[in-house]
Amino acid sequence: MAEPTAGQLASLRDEILRLARIVDNLRALASARAAALQLTQRRCDLADIAAAADSLSSSFAAAGVCIERRLTAVPIMGDPGRLHEVITNPLANALKFTQAGGSVLIEAWPHERQARISVSDTGIGIPPMS
C-alpha cells in the first residue's frame, strides 16, 4: 500500500466536507416537515457564489482536471449558502466523471432579466435512455 499524496488527502477532505453538507441538507429537509425551511435571501452576486469552484480547486488539481471560470457579475436575490451548495453539486459531479486531462467550465452571466449559470465538462456524459 502506498502513502496517500497531499493531493489525494485534499481531495478526500473536500469529498468529506461535501458529504457532510449533504447530510446537513437531509437533516434540514427532514425537519422541514415540522417547520418551514428558512432561506436567508439577500442581495448577492451569482459570479461570486459561482466561485464555489475555488473550494474544489485542490480536488481538480489532484485529479488532473482543468477548471475554467467565465464569471460575469450578476446581482441577484438569494440565499448564498444554499446557492453555493446548488453550484458545488454539479461541479463535484463533473469532477467525478471527467478523466485526467479533461476540463470543466463554469459560467455565470446575465440574460435579459435573469441570471444564468452553466457547468459543462469533457466527461463521459449521461447515456441516452433507450
Q: Is-contact 68 80, C-beta < 8 A?
A: no
User: What is the per-residue pLDDT across 97-130, written as a single tens digit (0 to 9) for each?
Assistant: 999 999 999 999 999 999 999 999 998 887 776 6
pTM: 0.70
User: What is the per-residue pLDDT across 35-87, written as a single tens digit (0 to 9) for each?
Assistant: 566 778 999 999 999 887 788 888 999 999 999 999 999 999 999 988 988 89
What are the residue boundaries of the structural domains of the chain, listed by start?
Answer: 6-121
Q: Identify the pLDDT of residue 33.
A: 62
- Listed in sequence order, the residues at least 6 apart from 7 whose beta carbon sits closer than 8 Å to its beta carbon are 58, 61, 62
Q: Identify the pLDDT of residue 46.
A: 93
- Listed in sequence order, the residues at least 6 apart from 84 whose beta carbon sits closer than 8 Å to its beta carbon are 49, 52
What is the Cα–Cα distance from 129 to 39, expressed in whole angstroms? Answer: 35
Q: Does domain 6-121 have CATH number 3.30.565.10?
A: yes
